[in-house]
């Protein structure tokens, strides 16, 4: 099945370490997104990309960077992790060409990140 996958699913790291979260999709969608979810705060957009050459900051991009290596791959990096980046991270995709669905987004399973 066409899908959105994320690796790793769980990660524990220490303050100051660099880590990368990866997202791959087989849906053939152009748009990809990274979100962060904290209890009581809903989901907040970190970065989004509409194609390989297009990267945009979201609400909370400080401390994060991204790379769109291919249409199907979108990675999120924490250059120097800090404890308040402990959260659940989701990747999502949507289809630029499907007007019927508006901007319906499809989410990956999430990565639970803990920074000690």
Q: Where does this chain bind another protein (CB under 8 A)?
A: 31, 33, 40-45, 48, 50, 56, 58, 90, 92, 94, 96, 101-110
Cα–Cα distances in angstroms (integers) from residue 17 to residues 33, 38, 77, 91, in the given order: 23, 21, 11, 21
CB of 49 to another protein, least distance (A): 11
CB of 72 to another protein, least distance (A): 18
Q: Which residues are CB-contacts of 29 (< 8 A; sequence separation ≥ 6)?
A: 93, 94, 95, 96, 106
Judged by beta carbon, residue 18 or residue 50, the one nearer another protein is 50
Judged by beta carbon, residue 3 or residue 17, the one nearer another protein is 3
Judged by beta carbon, residue 2 or residue 82, the one nearer another protein is 2
């Amino acid at each position: 099945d066409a899908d959105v996958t994320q690796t790793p699913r769980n990660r524990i790291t220490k303050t100051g370490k660099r880590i990368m979260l990866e997202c791959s999709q087989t849906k053939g969608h152009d748009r990809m997104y990274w979100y962060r979810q904290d209890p009581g705060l809903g989901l907040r957009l970190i970065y989004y990309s509409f194609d390989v050459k297009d990267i945009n900051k979201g609400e909370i991009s400080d401390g994060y960077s991204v790379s769109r290596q291919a249409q199907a791959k979108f990675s999120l990096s924490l250059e120097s992790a800090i404890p308040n980046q402990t959260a659940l991270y989701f990747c999502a995709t949507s289809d630029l060409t499907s007007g019927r669905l508006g901007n319906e987004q499809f989410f990956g399973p999430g990565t639970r990140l803990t920074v000690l």
